[in-house]
Amino acid sequence: MPATPRAVHQAAPGLVLLARAGYAAKGIVYVVIGALAARVAAGSGGETTDQHGAIQAIGQGPFGAISLVVIALGLFGYTAWRLVAAATDAEGDGDGATSLGKRIGQAVRGLAYGALGVYALRALKGRGGDGGTASETRDWTARLLDLPFGRALVVGVGIGVTIYAGYQVYRAASDKVKKHLNLAEAGSKADLIVALGSFGIAARALVFALIGLFLVKAGLQRDSSEAGGIAQSLDLVARAPYGRVALGAVALGLVAYGVYQLATARYRRIRAVG
């Protein structure tokens, strides 16, 4: 039976804790992605990676199995909170068309991180695979291209991702970095958290803009192999003029974004019900 409003209210404190665990898990994943990219930029070996690669790296580290379980549980907690919060309008978005779009977006983000949690458990059993998110992106891009108007669909998705990246740049440059954060509790760390958030969100926006452009190119050329993910975006940055410097800057930005997510886990105002 579906959960009653009373049951949701009773579960709300637990969902809030799960949400905080989820933000912490997201933060750790991005710190690892950025750290591995920084290693490449410094010429210390290794390769750029994405969320899947970060999960694999965490699993291969000290206390790998325990770490993967903790990461998976955190991501599942984030999923549960996002779905419940979207259903109950806990963020106070309202019922207008734009607001419903935001709530649907919250639910989709929750499901995406839930899928990453599943991947963490599969990695725990040695069945995570090594194709990365780029392989998944190319698979669903190929499926879209096979549909009627498939090229237009892929181009549309790419444009949508690029617009999302543009919004993130706006968010990085505005007070929206502070939105939902109780910075009064952060005290002297508040300015640092905002600075890390602005830098990190902007760096992540660049990565997503490139992902969007990859999709547009895949659609225009009707070639799913042109699609790519975070690792491919970082590789493209590395091949640009002054590539190692540029990659180093983006890598540090992704680390900053991860730390910002860890701060969000601690200081975000979180509600599970409207």
pLDDT tens sequence across 86-144: 888 777 777 777 778 888 888 998 999 999 999 999 998 776 555 567 788 899 999 99
**Residue 188: its pLDDT value, please?**
92
- Binned at pLDDT 50, 70 and 90, residue 40 comes out as very high
Mean pLDDT in the chain? Answer: 89
**Mean pLDDT, to the nearest integer, of 220-248?**
94
Residue 164 clears pLDDT 50, i.e. is over it: yes
- DSSP secondary structure string, the chain? -PPPHHHHHHHHHHHHHHHHHHHHHHHHHHHHHHHHHHHHHTT-S-----HHHHHHHHHHSTTHHHHHHHHHHHHHHHHHHHHHHHHHTTT---SSHHHHHHHHHHHHHHHHHHHHHHHHHHHHTT---SSHHHHHHHHHHHHHHTSTTHHHHHHHHHHHHHHHHHHHHHHHTSGGGGTTB-HHHHGGGHHHHHHHHHHHHHHHHHHHHHHHHHHHHHHHHT-GGG---HHHHHHHHHTSTTHHHHHHHHHHHHHHHHHHHHHHHHHB---S--
- pLDDT of 9 > 60? The answer is no
pLDDT band at 2 (very low <50, low <70, confident <90, very high): very low
* Mean pLDDT confidence for 53-72: 92
* Residues near 179 by beta carbon (within 8 Å), at least 6 away in sequence: none
| pLDDT, position 134 | 76
For residues 50-62, average pLDDT: 91
Percentage of the chain exceeding pLDDT 90: 69
Q: What is the model's pLDDT at position 170?
A: 96
pLDDT of residue 128: 59
**Taking the model in full, what pTM does it have?**
0.89
pLDDT for residue 11 is more than 60: no
pLDDT over 80 (residue 6)? no
Does pLDDT of 262 surpass 70? Answer: yes
At residue 10 the predicted structure's pLDDT band, cuts being 50, 70 and 90, is low
pLDDT at 89: 78
pLDDT band for 179, please (50, 70, 90 cuts): confident
Residue with tokens 């994405």: 50
Give the number of other CB atoms < 10 A from CB of residue 98: 9
pLDDT of the residue at 136: 83
